[in-house]
Amino acid sequence: MDLPRSFTIRESSHRLCNPFTSEKLAILGQAISPSPGTRVLDLACGKGEMLCTWARDHGVAGTGVDISTAFIDAARARAVELGVADRVGFVHADASGHVADDPVDIAACVGATWIGSGVAGTVELLRRSLVPGGMMLIGEPYWRREPQDQATIEGCHMARKDDLLPLPELLGRFSALGCDVVEMVLADQDSWDRYVAAQWLNIRRWLDANPDDELADDMRAELAAAPVQHARYQREYLGWGVFVLMDR
């Protein structure tokens, strides 16, 4: 049970495995201002940067769950680095079936709603771990601009236009699920660049060090195509944000 190696190659230098910068993650923490001792469950937590930095900056405590052994190892090391390993812990597991033993104040899935087969299923999964009046954090892409053809849709790694919603419709979707949207922090084109372009350098460095690896041809082809694909499609058409929800 693990992520394909290509994920860890692309994101080897990343602390955040999504289009947020550290500054935007800090803005999100400041926006919701969790009090010391707030209990957090972070499903598909990646390298644990949200839990670790919020434990340092806000005094939260909690658990992160991720399917990647490499990411979980990085998360545990980050907790030690920031001196918060006594307040946060990380579990290698499939987050799609994980429910907290004791209800938490904040339940998060920041950028991996496939664990619930989409937004609706992920909201329902997070609800199962949440105290009454708690907050859910959902990270989700949306259409910044409406794609006009299938090439654009596929260039944004989608199969169908309906795989994503424009921002107003996404906010309406949360409302239809019985949630109040109480905050949001959105990625911008620069933070998308920082996320995606950093992958190109990671891939190139990996290729230089591993020219005979069985993945080398695929990763070389990806590196050759990715910059143009990002500039032509993803940078112009894809938005992404973290949305803070509370049940009505």
Q: What is the mean pLDDT of residues 75-104?
A: 97
66 lies in some domain: no
pLDDT at 97 over 90: no
Mean of per-residue pLDDT scores for the chain: 97
Does residue 2 have a pLDDT over 90?
no
The pLDDT tens digits of the residues spanning 140-167 come to 999 999 999 999 999 999 999 999 999 9
- Please, what is the end-to-end C-alpha distance for the chain in angstroms? 36
pLDDT at 31 over 90: yes
With a pLDDT cut of 70, the percent of the chain lying above it is 100
Task: Calculate mean pLDDT across residues 187-208.
Answer: 97
Q: Quick one: average pLDDT of 41-53?
A: 98
pLDDT at site 43? 98
Give domain status of residue 201, yes or no. yes
- Report the 10 Å Cβ neighbour count for 111: 21
Tell whether 240 is covered by a domain: yes
**CB within 8 A of 153, min separation 6: which ones?**
147, 159, 160, 161, 163
Select from 106, 113, 107 the least CA-distant residue to 142.
Answer: 113
At 188, the pLDDT band (50, 70, 90 cuts) reads: very high
pLDDT above 80 (res 13) = yes
What is the predicted pLDDT for the residue at 58?
98
At 232, the pLDDT band (50, 70, 90 cuts) reads very high
Q: Could you tell me the CATH number of the domain that includes residue 123?
A: 3.40.50.150
The structural domain count of the chain equals 1
Q: Which residues contact 98 (CB under 8 A, 6 or more apart)?
A: 41, 43, 65, 91, 129
**45 assigned to some structural domain:** no
Q: What is the pLDDT of residue 225?
A: 97
Residue 13 in domain: no
At 201, give phi and psi (nearest 5°). -65, -40
Report yes or no on 4 lying in a domain.
no
93 C-beta neighbours (distance < 10 Å), count: 14
Please indicate, yes or no, if residue 7 is contained in any of the structural domains: no
pLDDT at 209: 98
